[in-house]
Structure 1
């Protein structure tokens, strides 16, 4: 996924060498966007005509007239306003002004499941197999848990150091650079709740409180564990492990004394305005103690959640190894939403058996960047030679937290994060626990491992593009599941541009619709089905290229709408059209990462409560799907959808084999 060294014969380049010469994200021509938008309406109108909702040709002519009226009227003004915004933007019109606010920070829904993504790490081969089979008893921490947590911490910090020194050779693909600017900013970062619109914390200096520490959560208590020296050097792995062991010992002693962690972190799982109000209340009731606590949390490098449990595998699982289902539940939410701080950009989660994963706050960057970091962090199993057999001592002269006596213990290299809570806030925490548990219980998140074939077969025998092929399988599966088509969101990366982020690939198209209908019509021949699949994939690939090269329509349409002033939207028929909204009802929200051979899976929540959120990893022989829906939605069911995906992939394989055979005869 990345290269530490350049290919043989190539000059070593700094990590962000290419970033400095990337072009600006363009403001697309207005007519170009309107024409593409009208084309994406055609499959919706086709279905409408089929369902007796009016003639497609008449309905399309109506929208074409509205588009012409928009282009010659208010649309022309909006386009010029957007160009002015771009001319006044340092990097690009979208990222500098709108994207994080509109896509994330103004969204008031809880981050848990709704916004945060998750990654499941593969098993560490250094951990004895019997540990996974017989983990510590519930409520207890494990030795291998601490060892893996220390090893992962070191590996994450090592990657950060290489990025800071620009030692990672810039990798690229046919669609552009894999690794870009956000890689610098994912550490020492946190989202901060504010009424109406959140903000991101600023990057602290190395000497500021918490900046050299990781935030460790254990049984809902919060600790700061220093992992960098004053000069920014990474502590030895055995020392990190020793400090984590001291934290766990402190937790166990507190439990023995009958203490219970005040779950302040669960407040970050709440509605954003509720959380903003509670955070401000905490700051006003105790400006000194609680302000310091928030500063430490927000400045810390990342969160490490040590869970005193390993969720057991269910008795059975559908199309995935049973332990993976338990892994999903713990990484995406934990069993009850506790022992997490959902605002941190990166949260590493390690269960008592050493099973590990990551959850992340979505606004600073998309999951591609953390996946690259994780791929590096877990590429090498635990090096046992990095650890000592017995307890280790802090290096002389490198005690970062001066010997403060807290709870009867002189802390060196770590400290408790204390909060001052009154009865009102304790009640708020209990209520937030209930709301978080409700979100957790409603989330129907699961993994599907499809191992009958993968990208190797799709390319060699199917003669198709793997990503577009998987997208067509999802279109077919969704129709089988729901009995209707839906506007579909697939993420397109715009990393070819400076500060590029994403646009939308509208997978549901005239050609994808024709493919699905061909697959469901028994009268259609195998040859025609194969032709329909090939046509849909070519169409999808063309849309992907355009969206990735600054010619997408959805970000542009959003920018135009944001240029409207008070009362200007009244009478704009194009934007008031119900079909305009329907074309963006992403009841099928999808995104593909790399092959992900070092991940057990990935995932994110559905955007629409009655839809599906799907992340997938298309490997050579194995395709992994992370699928999430809501138990409360009467029309969706994750396990049922998994069966439809499997059936669709099997059906498509047969179509490709039959189509290839027919082509060979010809």
Structure 2
């Protein structure tokens, strides 16, 4: 790992000091939904996924929970008081519950990857040249952050919270024994001015693109041999084990200095060795594997620092993408940065001009004791087990894109979600709790809530779709109704009126108030409702890319998609250790469902024209 010289552009005269703060303070606070509304909607989302007897029992618990003067009302009032005194009643709880308290490895279980379009490199110079442009593009984006000139984003005419954009550069997750933390060094009195380049296990004015190229070339040519041990693979381990290894690692002063340089860096660039050659059909799938975990210790998993918020990966074979640590941000800000960088790299070729002679990039050194070596070997073994267990399939669905649902006046996202419900039902003959991420960025420090894609309306459509006794017009009617219901739930969620974060808040409030956990949270229905066998996300981008992530439960799937105008990029994941799941099988069923739904609409609605 080597550290180049100063990269940060000076603050511009166009800096709009205080613009970020003024914008943030003008945003509304996240509301606390009415208790009876959440209880009623909670029961409705259980209908397709819970059997009738269990639902009767849950109904009784929910009635008891919301009795006047009861525990539900008491917790609701406590939560409303919390909301009145904090900028966002949920954000700290969510950061801790979803990320920092989570002890499974961030690799696969938490950190998403992004597969970018494949590049054509004729030699290592091409790889270095593109990397220099990419670094310059990220730093160009950073200058907008530093100067507070990032364009404010809007949804339905309302401004969105921009906080996550200010968290993704110069930040890093720090391991702990029982809980992690996140540090954003951009907020320090001495913000970082360097990046880390990981190659084979890397004061003053900013470097030009040409100078970046020269520094990268020095790294490539001067440090051709890998370190004896891939120290970065420690970051892939179970968080408690990594926390213990981290404490041990930092006992050595040299190690502590090197680790701090990595943590303080603006971002990380990973110059990867080529992965095994595969067919063109399987290229995107292998690229997803490389982004998510690097392929195992024998390939590129040691060429990472998985705690770093942003890692750009550029392989010798032209594979390119990103892996990011999820705690500071959701996918949309990451993709917005990527869109900016990709456009930047398309600018005219570098102009080679005489440059100032810069010092050599500084190699980061580690002293590997027998105890640290043992930790590395354990991390390698666990990483390889996890890599072998992950089952991924990326598909470029080329038959149509968001143009077709739009032509029938349907939400493309809702249309795809109904196709997912149909595909899953065809494989398993049942419905499952389905998570789709909804942005809460209309509110200050907003993160996400859950869109519940499995509904009574989706179940009615799915049942009808393959029923030979059902006429096509009725199937279309049920599809349209399911799409509208999904769209309505989505709108409700982004307005802060969904049920999942509210229920979580009530549960966490009980813990904070030292009360017994209410019975509705100990109920099997609640457990089933939160066992997401389908964990999904739409992450649209201007770039022809796709985000990918692992399943959130051992017997489930992770599904991410980017609907382009005339095609759709899908990434489906599962675990090989579960005999009931298969990523390729679900990907095939999803494609078939999309084609069948289009055929249904074409045959039924076009015939009326």
- Tell me whether the two structures share a fold, i.e. TM-score over 0.5: yes
Give SS of 2:212's match. Answer: helix
State the distance in 2 between where 1:156 and 1:656 align: 43
Deviation at 1:176, TM superposition (A): 4.4
TM-score (norm 1): 0.84
* Aligned counterpart, 1:332: 292
* Aligned counterpart, 1:84: 81
Within the alignment, does 1:476 sit opposite 2:422 as a pair?
A: yes
State the distance in 2 between where 1:586 and 1:422 align: 42
Deviation at 1:205, TM superposition (A): 6.5
Give SS of 2:41's match. Answer: helix
Within the alignment, does 1:372 sit opposite 2:318 as a pair?
A: no
- Is the CA contact 1:527–1:662 (under 8 Å) kept in the aligned structure 2? no
Give SS of 1:347's match. Answer: strand
Q: Which of 492, 515, 527 pairs up with 1:581?
A: 527
- Is the CA contact 2:284–2:395 (under 8 Å) kept in the aligned structure 1? no
After the TM superposition, which residues 152-167 of structure 1 pair with which residues of structure 2 at under 5 Å, given as runs?
Answer: 152-167=134-149
* Aligned counterpart, 1:307: 272
- Is the CA contact 1:38–1:63 (under 8 Å) kept in the aligned structure 2? no
* Aligned counterpart, 1:358: 322
After the TM superposition, which residues 372-521 of structure 1 pair with which residues of structure 2 at under 5 Å, given as runs?
Answer: 372-383=336-347, 385-388=349-352, 393=355, 395=356, 399=358, 412-460=359-407, 462-521=408-467
Deviation at 1:207, TM superposition (A): 7.8
State the distance in 2 between where 1:468 and 1:186 align: 29
Within the alignment, does 1:93 sit opposite 2:89 as a pair?
A: yes
Give SS of 1:449's match. Answer: strand
Q: Which moved more, 1:325-334 or 1:153-162?
A: 325-334
Deviation at 1:263, TM superposition (A): 1.1
Residues 647 and 516 of structure 1, relative CA distance in 2, 3 Å threshold: same
Give SS of 1:357's match. Answer: strand
State the distance in 2 between where 1:521 and 1:382 align: 50
TM-score (norm 2): 0.91
Query: What is the RMSD of the two structures over their aligned residues, measured on CA atoms?
Result: 2.3
Q: Which moved more, 1:547-556 or 1:260-269?
A: 260-269
* Aligned counterpart, 1:294: 259
Give SS of 2:559's match. Answer: strand
- Is the CA contact 1:527–1:658 (under 8 Å) kept in the aligned structure 2? no
Within the alignment, does 1:530 sit opposite 2:511 as a pair?
A: no
- Is the CA contact 1:144–1:353 (under 8 Å) kept in the aligned structure 2? no
State the distance in 1 between where 2:178 and 2:276 align: 36
Structure 1: gaps of 5 or more residues? 1-12, 137-141, 224-228, 400-411
Aligned residues: 587
State the distance in 2 between where 1:642 and 1:438 align: 24
* Aligned counterpart, 1:237: 209
State the distance in 1 between where 2:115 and 2:465 align: 34
Give SS of 1:293's match. Answer: helix
Q: Which of 549, 553, 566 pairs up with 1:604?
A: 549
- Is the CA contact 2:167–2:184 (under 8 Å) kept in the aligned structure 1? no
State the distance in 2 between where 1:177 and 1:613 align: 30
Q: Which of 16, 29, 36 pairs up with 2:34?
A: 29
Give SS of 1:200's match. Answer: strand
Within the alignment, does 1:119 sit opposite 2:114 as a pair?
A: yes
Residues 174 and 454 of structure 1, relative CA distance in 2, 3 Å threshold: same
Give SS of 2:343's match. Answer: coil
- Is the CA contact 1:145–1:350 (under 8 Å) kept in the aligned structure 2? yes
After the TM superposition, which residues 139-154 of structure 1 pair with which residues of structure 2 at under 5 Å, given as runs?
Answer: 142-154=124-136
Residues 19 and 436 of structure 1, relative CA distance in 2, 3 Å threshold: same
* Aligned counterpart, 2:10: none
State the distance in 2 between where 1:15 and 1:375 align: 21
Within the alignment, does 1:269 sit opposite 2:269 as a pair?
A: no
